[in-house]
A and B are shown apart, each in its own frame.
Chain A
Amino acid sequence: MTLSRRALLKTMAATGAAATSPGVFAPAIAQAKPVRIGILAPRSGIAASAGESGLRATQWAVERFNAAGGIAGRKIELVVDEETNAKDTIDRFQKLVQQEKVDCVQGIVSTGVGLALGPVVEEARALTIFWDGTTQDGVDEKLPNPKYLFRSTDNECEAVMSSLLAIKHWKGQFKTIAGINPDYSYGRNNMAAFVALLKRFNIDHQVITEQWPKVGTMELTSHVAALKAAKPDLIFSSLLFADLPVFMKQAHAAELTKGTKLVFPAAGWQHTLMKKDFTPEGMIFGHNTLYFDNPKATPMQKEFVAWYADKFKDYPNWEADRAYFAIASYKEAVETAAKAKGGQWPGVDDVIGAMVGLSVESLGGKGSWRKDHIADQTFVQGFSTHANKFDFVTLDPARIETMYSADLQKPAGANFWDWLKTAQFKI
């Protein structure tokens, strides 16, 4: 076959026109290039370990999904950047959206960053799924019914669950309570939620001291001495950064933990550092949405934990589950929307439409998305035990409790404190 110069030019022009026409070739072109997912995760500072855990889970998910064909036939490509302070993270978010042209942004652990980033996400009209950040100022939602943003469960879920467990198991066994909680909205709201629930269930109690160490304080002997001086029956603590094992170690050295009931809703963030040497058995210990050694774990969780342990000589915390839930939700929503469009790659609005009400099997259990774009996930807590093969505490298999966050977080539009007074809790 011979091709004249005129015929060649005509063919090239037709090909060029077709390629720029979205109705004809766009899906084929789209499927040839990878889906780009931007990740914003802390890699230094107090939340670095959480960011690392989330990133590892994302990488595991991407390897797995890509091996099975990617998302709706397109391979996944990650563009990883760092979550730091609100201002710089917003700059990086805009870079991911405008320069890197990512299809979806995922990540964010800090509430402060999430709160600032929320309106920027809406303005940028970029589908974004938070791992752990919220858009609450304290417990008040500042971005109700966003369009492009999907955010994690309320921060208070774990405190509500721990409080319910303490009431269920220890009612009548304590009166004086003390708190040691991080000095920011998370710690303050968790302590307040605990006290509010004690009132709600008519538990006779007296708060005798409340300690508010600055986040990241690594020398807590004076706090321990102050708590010891107060002699509480029960200590409630939502410490969750590196200061948590330090507190536990110093509390053990001062024998503060001896005979005192302990309620630690967020201890699972540092679970591998909660060594048996200084962490007592029988404390209420929250693993949030992923308990790595859950006897009822799905085969997928078991596979992930085994991969994580083998590769990093470590065990994942709940941030891994949050990250997996984000990327698995995105994959599921894109594929559902693509199916509805007869196999065409869906637009952002289609994906958002598919996300609402979507239910996904995450690493730690079922998760779903509410109409107001807030996640519901499965929470696991229980009582610490030394009876395991590790050098840190795990949960007593006979006393593991699982709750879905639909029973732990306020419904859309509700005031948290009013909801605590009227909610029907399943204790």
Chain B
Amino acid sequence: MSGQLAAFGNLLVGGIFHAAVLFLVAAGLQLVFGVQKIVNLACGSFYALGAYFGITFISLALKAGMPAWMLLPMLLVAGLMMAAVGPPIERLLRTVYDRDESFQLLLTFALVLMFQDVFRFVWGANPRSLDNVHLVYGRLALGDFLVPVYNLMVIGAALLAAFLIGLFLKRTNYGRLLRATAENRGMAEALGVNVRGVYAAVFTLGTLLGTIGGALVVPTAAASLDMAVEVVIEAFAVVVIGGLGSMAGALAGALLVGLIRAASLVIYPEFEILAIYLIVIGVLLFKPSGLFGKAAA
């Protein structure tokens, strides 16, 4: 691949990789808001939890003799295990379902702070990371174009997650129940839908997307105390661009944020953050419901 084309390819993959991880977190946020109408700030903490636990889980597994090529499936397992924190937290959130949104925001923000203390207590204040184990899958090299295969696998995993969530919501009975509950909770309840059960399931699924996102990104990055807040800020940009509550919006928003960020780093690095928020402001001004969101009645 020629120099310029390779550089473009590297940038494109870098942007999409970032978008893939962002999508998983934003998708969790969207799902929970779409059905439960809760803006869950703690989605960033689930992401951090997946990252921290992913490191511990993989380190222990490697010590126990796990072959390095099992990294990706084992990280998915780590993410799945950590989704177990979803149901008890959802139980806690029940206390604010019928209260003002500010209570919900306060409670989920309190969770962010509490999780940060838990991380510090369990894993310490120093950032944690894995060694270069993700390079076990090798690098895809075409001339100057060079990308770790693991990054491509993460992109694939995010796309698969998007596909499966779409399939689940649109083609399964339980998915239809979720959508019905999202549309009209009272009516769904009147028709015999176990709304509490639906909420618990949705919240756990949202948690799972976050923990898997954190677990998958950590081999290429690190887990640190502030990573939860960092990702929440970007996830909100994704949500505003894509439209609150829309899964398609999460995908489009994440892609847009990832690619704009990558492009601005080459064209004018000073614009990295500004470029994203210019889009956010533009969307808020001209399509406040987001690219895929429904306009408020």
Contacts and interface: CB of A to CB of B under 8 A. Distances in A.
Interface in B7-39: 7-8, 10-11, 13-15, 17-18, 21
B interface, over-half SS: helix
Given A212-B269, A222-B265, A241-B224, 20 more contacts: A46-B224, A48-B120, A48-B225, A52-B124, A212-B270, A212-B272, A216-B227, A220-B221, A221-B14, A222-B11, A224-B14, A225-B7, A226-B266, A229-B10, A241-B127, A242-B224, A245-B222, A250-B221, A253-B135, A254-B10
B236 to A, nearest CB: 15
Interface range on chain B (Cβ under 8 Å from partner): 35 or more
B120 A43 contact: yes
Contact of A254 (B117, B146, B224, B269): B146
26 contacts: A43-B120, A44-B120, A44-B125, A46-B225, A49-B127, A216-B230, A221-B14, A221-B18, A222-B261, A226-B11, A226-B265, A229-B8, A241-B224, A246-B220, A246-B222, A249-B220, A249-B221, A250-B220, A253-B134, A254-B147, A272-B126, A273-B127, A275-B131, A277-B131, A278-B131, A391-B131
A246 B134 CA distance: 13
A211 B14 CA distance: 15
A293 to B, nearest CB: 18
Interface centre among A216, A222, A245 (most CB of B within 10 A): A222
B132 interface: yes
A84 to B, nearest CB: 12
B111 to A, nearest CB: 15
Interface in B213-239: 217, 220-222, 224-227, 230
Contacts, number: 137
B273 interface: yes
A209 B264 CA distance: 12
A224 B148 CA distance: 13
Interface string B247-289: 0000000000010011001100110110000000000000000
Interface of A: 43-46, 48-49, 51-52, 209-214, 216-226, 228-229, 241-242, 245-246, 249-250, 252-255, 270, 272-273, 275, 277-278, 314, 391
Contacts of A216: 224, 226-227, 230
A213 B272 CA distance: 8
Contacts of A253: 132, 134-135, 139, 148, 151, 220
B132 A252 contact: yes
A253 B148 CA distance: 6
Contacts of B230: 216-218
A277 B129 CA distance: 12
B125 A52 contact: yes
Interface string B126-152: 110101101100010000001110010
Given A216-B226, A253-B220, A275-B132, A270 B127 contact: yes
A98 to B, nearest CB: 27
A224 B129 CA distance: 18
B132 A49 contact: no
Contacts of B262: 222, 225-226
A272 B127 CA distance: 10
A242 B220 contact: no
A270 B127 CA distance: 9
A207 to B, nearest CB: 12
A253 B14 CA distance: 12
Interface string B62-101: 0000000000000000000000000000000000000000
Nearest to A217: B230
B265 A211 contact: yes
B20 to A, nearest CB: 10
B264 to A, nearest CB: 9
A259 to B, nearest CB: 13
Contact of B132 (A220, A241, A255, A278): A278
Interface centre among A44, A52, A209 (most CB of B within 10 A): A44
Contacts of B269: 209-212, 226
A49 B230 CA distance: 18
Nearest to B127: A242
A41 to B, nearest CB: 10
B56 to A, nearest CB: 15
Given A211-B265, A222-B18, A222-B265, A229 B125 contact: no
A45 B7 contact: no
Nearest to A219: B18
Given A45-B225, A49-B126, A52-B125, A225 B14 contact: yes
Given A219-B217, A226-B265, A44 B116 contact: yes
A204 B200 CA distance: 64
Contacts of B129: 245-246, 249, 273, 275
A218 B222 contact: yes
A334 to B, nearest CB: 31
B110 to A, nearest CB: 15
A219 B265 contact: no
Contact of B125 (A48, A218, A224, A249): A48
Interface centre among B224, B262, B273 (most CB of A within 10 A): B224
A65 B221 CA distance: 41
Nearest to B120: A44
